[in-house]
Structure 1
């Protein structure tokens, strides 16, 4: 597996720490504007491969990827892994579970 699954409690712990990491929302722009986790940047999954250079400064950094329910983010983690990113974390159950 090219990524590690984390749950909402682990993410909240990470957000409360002073550790630097990238929070990447790969939902559509519309979904992102409806609600998001504070501090996240948005690159929709359909655009990820074409915009991977926007993440270059985060190569070697921890990247937490999330979507609505945790499925698209798995695909995004796999794409990023193929592009050479190696510290990838998938938010299990996505933002739906996170905001509850």
Structure 2
């Protein structure tokens, strides 16, 4: 009799352990389904924004074409509002364009006047990013064949291209690595030292600085 009871106890324990294991697995499966449902719900909520972002370049391009502007096939197929090029690619395109029709090329520097004075791409036009909204209509021709936009490292010029592309400019070339990546001709005063500043502001101060050194 005791052997039978032990057998029943072992079987009962095994069944209980199996039931607990199944319950744990079912609970994990329910939690997984809840997570998937939450993720799917969030994805569906974001879907209209993602569609709008994907369609936005095309909407801007159609509006530009309706106004008589020309939009390149490359931009339309890639869903881009402006060309994305390295400094080396920009240099090649600038040299090629200047060799044929120099008046149709604009190189736009969107840095500060101080940065521009120290070093700039040869022939670049300064329109600081902070002043772009009030100056772009009068200083950046929208009929230029190519407008190359650069800053120091690429961030301000990217924002400038985004701004200009939404105002009808379809000929923009964003120089993603900025002046840091440019190996072509440059202009400017070079690095300004303390002694140079003193010489410009006060000859006596510069002489004193040299004597002190």
Preserved contact between residue 60 and residue 86 of structure 1 (Cα < 8 Å): no
Structure 1: gaps (5+ residues): none
Preserved contact between residue 88 and residue 183 of structure 2 (Cα < 8 Å): no
Q: 1:11 aligns with which of 75, 86, 90?
A: 90
TM-score (norm 2): 0.44
What is the CA–CA distance in structure 2 between the aligned matches of 1:60 and 1:85, rounded to whole Å? Answer: 9
**Quick check: which one's helix share is greater?**
2
Q: Identify the range of structure 1 (90-99 vs 72-81) with the bigger mean alpha-carbon deviation.
A: 90-99
What is the CA–CA distance in structure 2 between the aligned matches of 1:3 and 1:15, rounded to whole Å? Answer: 16
Structure 2: gaps (5+ residues): 1-79, 185-213
Q: Secondary structure of 1:86's match?
A: coil
Runs of 4+ residues deviating >6 angstroms? none
What is the CA–CA distance in structure 1 between the aligned matches of 2:173 and 2:163, rounded to whole Å? Answer: 13
**Quick check: which one's strand share is greater?**
1
Higher RCO structure, 1 or 2 (CA under 8 Å, sep 6+): 1
Map of 1:54 onto structure 2: 138
The reply to whether residue 88 of structure 1 matches residue 172 of structure 2 is yes
Q: How many residues align?
A: 99
TM-score (norm 1): 0.89
